[in-house]
Structure 1
Amino acid sequence: MTEPTETASPWYRSMRARRPDEHHRASTPLELLFDLCFVVAVAQAAVELHHAIAENHLGTGLIGYLTVFFAIWWAWMNFTWFATAFDTDDVPYRLTTLVQIAGGLVLAAGVSSAFERGDFTVITFGYVIMRLAMVAQWLRAARSDPEHRATALAYAVGITVVQLGWLLRLLLPEGLLLPAFLVLVVAELAVPALAERRGQPVWHPEHIAERYGLFTLIVLGESVLSATIALEAAFTETDHPIGLIALGVAGLVILFSMWWIYFEQPAHERLTTLKAALRWGYGHYFVFASAAATGAGLAVAVDYDLHIAHVGGLPAALATTVPVAVFVLVVWLLHLDHERMRRVSAAFPTAAALVVATSFTPAPIHLTALVMAVLTALLVAARRPASSVIG
């Protein structure tokens, strides 16, 4: 495996696999632009989930959110893993990536229609634009890199076939849309697992860990927005701001704790085999979706405190506590080195159970913040060497 080499023209480089041990590999400005544009889609999905819960449309809101978020996550994930192996940063690569970004913005434009009317037409077209641009990238890699040609062609064929399935799904009656969605999700997930078996997988562990970490920060940004909304409402929309200030502070504590436990240990150490990489990469659907949903839940809590939500106290609480609990459990499963952190390992599932239990108390958000703060403190304490303990 060699790093991309330039041909006679500086605007075009041979798309050969990059070395997985390449030094100083970091996210490029184009990757950061890609993430920035996906912020729009994530924010749209979170806003629609917030509105659906606040209007007491829990079932349709949750299904809509999970299906829309799959499209966002899967398109982002496929670009990220391709880029770690074949990013040439030349003009054709940049232009193809910009097409993918445009498809992401089309997807974002269709989120409201999907939630409000169950119309996934715009989302599907945006998604297919992104995925067919990805096919073009894989075909270029197949032409330039004989060593990985079989893998690249398997990706190109698999993605193309599944995209035809997404387009045909638009013709199905409403009753078959969800079953067809689940079948196509399985097909999408199967493509990398099958394609990577045709050759030596190529990924840069540190680069992948950084890319996932950056996207985690993006989805956690929804909680920042919700905490800000609570503080803004405290000072502008109520004569009794103390409760909303406390809610905003609790939201920030939850956010800070989620950030802390996610970045507590280096993730690249987990990416040692294809099986481990697939489990880690696929598992992040729940990390990303739960982090963004936490922001939506906090926004519901603000609406509830302002008496403008059409939902009871328990569902309003669960809108925050459930995604926080899911986040804690998935990070525990994906990130934690259980041997190294065995003293605190059991605290994660315990904290998740306690977070859900706070839903049945008068102050669920505040108690969730307390549980998360204690979990973070235990995690920090577990890192201290035994010799540093007083006495």
Structure 2
Amino acid sequence: MTPFTIDIPQSDLDDLHDRLARTRWTPQLPSDGWERGVPTDWLRDLAEYWRTGYDWRAREAALNAFPQFVDEIDGLDLHYLHVRSPEPDALPLVLAHGWPNSFVEFARTIPLLTDPRAHGGDPAQAFHVVVPSIPGFGFSGAPRTTGFGIPAVAGMFAELMARLGYDRYGTQGGDLGAYVTPELARRHPDRVVGVHIDGGFGFPTEDDVPGMTEEERAEWDLMQQWSSGGVDHHALLRVAPQTFGHGWHDSPVSLLAWHAHKFQEFSMSDQPLLDVIDRDLFLDNVSVYWFTKTAATSSWPMYEGLAQGGAARFEWPKAPAGVPSGVYGGGSALMRRLAERDGPIVHWPEGNPGRHHFIAMEEPAGHVADIRAFFAQLR
């Protein structure tokens, strides 16, 4: 286990600034706001801030305040944060980030999780936190062969926790992390005490339609209308990840636009994106992708098949049998009924705050409060 410090060469930072300064800007198409994609003026303002106002060195130092390491597991370097709580009896907790995100997703929640006493909370609800960078993301090595999938990630995380000396721990994740954490529990139900995800258990598929009531079928129809909007990144990256990767690898504005587009689509608010997600935190994540050259390598969940067992058809996460599970945002009675087919659901709250898919970035205090409430039942 090798200690790791983020130390981006000044030449890389200078190159970023130079590329941003020389951007060949796309003319604005006739549109109203974001209806045809990220507006040129909006993107230009953000790129200029990234170049002249955003202080990467200060942000780098803040990220380096978290103890970080790299360990080789299954032939790949795995980067991870390991932040131990000052409370000796804290429960170990794996946090699994999403796409297009990174370990930056949890920068605001880690201090609240590890040291509740310092933030006016109950020290009995403390966690030792482990945040791995999923292979292909950030400072972890990228998969070298085809066929890499969620089971492989879960196996690496399990090995990491064993090497750290944790034989009993909880798991939490959203988006891509909502697939990794249940798989980890399926593989090691004797070690994982509970699985908490931001959302995703119980989403119906076409296979469920024949058994639906008339009311549930109407709900299904509304879900289809909602899910049909936006850019289908699963389709794009399943077919041509290398093609799009060329642009993201060469142009920081292309990468910035892609992240802005997806973060905007992932918002459940009509407010401007940067009123929901902090601008510097958003740029921390984009900067990690740029400096680590992982825009393309992080696309493997789509081209390898984001599903249970790596199947070709997209599937929603499923609760693991035999391990208690919970979600940050509960859904309808239909969703809970479907979720409970796969495993015990012991936490299904309604009314938690949140306007964005990446809730840990938007509502760190609310996110942490719900994680504490879920694991309080299981300690």
Structure-2-length-normalised TM-score: 0.25
Considering Cα pairs closer than 8 Å and 6+ residues apart, tell me whether 1 or 2 has the greater RCO.
2
- Structure with more of its chain in strand, by fraction: 2
Larger Rg: 1
- Structure with more of its chain in helix, by fraction: 1
Structure-1-length-normalised TM-score: 0.24
